Amino acid sequence: MRILISNDDGYLAPGIQALAEALAQVAEIVVVAPDSNRSGASNSLSLDRPLSVQKAANGFYFVNGTPTDCVHIALTGMLDYRPDLVVSGINNGQNMGDDTLYSGTVAAATEGYLFGIPAIAFSQVAHGWEHIDAAARLARDIVLRRFDALPSPYLLNVNIPNLPYEALNTVRATRLGRRHQAEPVIRALDPRGREIFWIGPPGATRDAGEGTDFHATAQGQVSVTPLQVDLTHRDQLALLSGALA
């Protein structure tokens, strides 16, 4: 199995290093990741400047761009083969509910999916990298499942509680929960007295009921959510057609 690995925390992040070490035991891997933290980059491509690719001492490739740039460059300009799987992560913090729309971790996996390659995004629920080796081992277990029963390509979003491996014994298929709207921006002054703004924290959970990713991880379970890219609001098509008639 050949696996392309990326992330949004940057090529030096503990999460991608642990993931690469775990997957290298079962597959041929190549790592192409951002040169620095690009959290919240979503599916953005850098179209206003050229991008460079460099190779680090550990064999990882790093790009001065977004997670989507990394996977796009790897698939269309770097690799002379088509990977069997694109894996992203392990992210430093959860990517659940509405967060998936902003997530660079999910975006890297999505780019692989858009090229017709099965893809999986991995995140730890809490920040701080506690039990990252356990999360990487669990990620390897999930990759080895292969999911032959799913139509290919598939796109999976996995959130792993920060627990020892032995405690990660329940994996649930879930749907995305929902959050309330985000908190307001935080106003501040820079050293020269100019007003600046920090993006505020995400909103509290609004839908965290049974079956959601929020609910599963709150119970200490690993959440696996199948995602899709089609944004068409199909329930409104008939209403819109009537309004346009």
Percentage of residues in the chain with pLDDT exceeding 70? 100
Calculate the average pLDDT of the chain.
Answer: 94
- What would the pLDDT profile of 3-45 be if each residue is shown by its tens digit? 999 999 999 999 999 999 999 999 999 999 999 999 989 889 9
Peptide bond into 14 cis (omega under 30): no
When pLDDT is cut at 50, 70 and 90, the band that residue 180 belongs to is confident
Question: pTM for this structure?
Answer: 0.93
How many Å apart are CA 201 and CA 184, to the nearest integer? Answer: 8
Taking 80 as the threshold, does the pLDDT of residue 208 lie above it? no
How many Å apart are CA 12 and CA 35, to the nearest integer? Answer: 8
What is the structure's pLDDT at 46?
A: 93
- What would the pLDDT profile of 82-100 be if each residue is shown by its tens digit? 999 999 999 999 999 999 9
What is the structure's pLDDT at 199?
A: 84
| Angle made by CA atoms 178, 225, 70, in degrees to the nearest 5 | 100
